[in-house]
Amino acid sequence: MTAGLAIIATPRNDGNSEIAAKIILDAAGFEHKSIINLYDLNLKPCTACYSCLFQEGCVIDDDVTWILNKINKTDALIFISNTYFMGINGVWKLFLDRMLLLNQYKNIKNTPVVLLAVSGIKGWEGLTLSSLASAAFSMELDVRAEADFVATLPGDIENHKKQIINIGKILSGEIKKETNYDEFCNFCGSNCFKISNETVNCAVCGKPHKTGEPVITANWSNHGDWLRKKKNEFLARRKELLTIHNRYNKLKYKIKPDKES
Ligand SMILES: Cc1cc2nc3c(=O)[nH]c(=O)nc-3n(C[C@H](O)[C@H](O)[C@H](O)COP(=O)(O)O)c2cc1C
């Protein structure tokens, strides 16, 4: 593997996410090392137009296709998110919500990736790692390792340097990954579980823990086909859906800041 690309989202220069990315890129020994900080880019929210399923590119004029072209060309990926309000950083989520576009980037499937969550308080990491795991799952990446680290002040991540170096070596294939299925879902890599009727199910893919089949068995590559069929259903049911829309459109509850005041 010659090229490694880390994706982070942080307002801090050389903060914990960036330092962790640099440690992994160096430990993996990539010839070409790159970091994209999503905060540096122009990213807009998905408009739910579904055009990307039917035509090339995205109708939104921003940097998402630039990032996907970079991801498409790399040999290995590093996804790192800091924890904001017990979940993934909002800018990361903004980017992930645009991933219907992946339909157009078949090369990305099976790219090796490692996932890191960085949080400031032990036990307050919330859903960050699970969100990265569900992203990797839906992008059909090859998750080689995942871990969450507590690092409060910028630079504190160095306390975990040894473990992070190991993650770099797992990514490059220098050392073998060790997956602890007691902590992570062995189907999608999430570490978030729901308890219902005395069974423990993965909160992301629905797999009953350790036994049984996952609820989401769909091949994500074929998800575009399913969505494209939905367009025909939408056209067939348009009138009926419009009556529902009109019923709620009458209720003018939405507020926005007044531009004139
Ligand atoms: C707005 C905001 C919300 C945060 N929320 C959490 C949180 O819910 N749980 C937690 O453990 N740390 C939280 N943190 C701390 C960061 O996750 C932590 O400082 C992390 O190291 C930042 O990574 P960075 O240096 O790469 O930006 C929050 C920080 C900010 C600025």
pLDDT tens per residue across span 207-229: 777 555 555 556 777 788 888 89
What are the structure tokens assigned to 255, written together?
A: 């507020």
Closest Cα to atom 5 of ligand 1: 84
Phi-psi region of 126 (alpha: psi -120 to 50; beta: other; left: phi over 0): left
146 lines ligand 1 (CB under 6 A): no
Q: Which atom of ligand 1 is nearest to the CA of 8?
A: 26
- Chain centroid offset of residue 149 CA: 17
Phi-psi region of 178 (alpha: psi -120 to 50; beta: other; left: phi over 0): beta
CATH 3.40.50.360 placement within the chain: 3-178
- Give the pLDDT of residue 106: 85
CA of 147 to the centre of ligand 1 (A): 16
- Give the pLDDT of residue 179: 60
Closest Cα to atom 29 of ligand 1: 84
Which contacts qualify for 49-56: CB closer than 8 Å, 24 or more apart?
A: 50/100, 50/227, 50/231, 52/100, 52/101, 52/103, 52/104, 53/100, 53/103, 53/224, 53/227, 53/228, 53/231, 54/228, 54/231, 56/104
SS3 129: helix
Query: What confidence tens digit (pLDDT) does each residue in 25-84 have?
Result: 999 999 999 999 999 999 999 999 999 999 888 999 999 999 999 999 999 999 999 999
Q: Which atom of ligand 1 is nearest to the CA of 87?
A: 8
Query: What confidence tens digit (pLDDT) does each residue in 146-161 have?
Result: 999 999 999 999 999 9
| Topology annotation, domain 3-178 | Rossmann fold (3.40.50)
Q: Which atom of ligand 1 is nearest to the CA of 121?
A: 11
pLDDT averaged over every residue in the chain: 89
172 lines ligand 1 (CB under 6 A): no
Q: CA-to-CA distance for 6 and 75, rounded, in angstroms?
A: 11
**Which residue matches tokens 């078949």?**
106
> Best substitution site from 14, 23, 39, 83 to test ligand 1's pocket, by max atoms within 8 Å of Cβ?
83
Task: Using the predicted structure, report yes or no on whether residue 189 has a pLDDT greater than 80.
Answer: no
152 lines ligand 1 (CB under 6 A): yes
- Give the pLDDT of residue 58: 95
Closest CA to 65 of 44, 86, 83: 44
CA of 142 to the centre of ligand 1 (A): 27
The answer to whether the beta carbons of residues 41 and 8 sit under 8 Å apart is no
Closest CA to 138 of 198, 176, 181, 95: 95
16 lines ligand 1 (CB under 6 A): yes
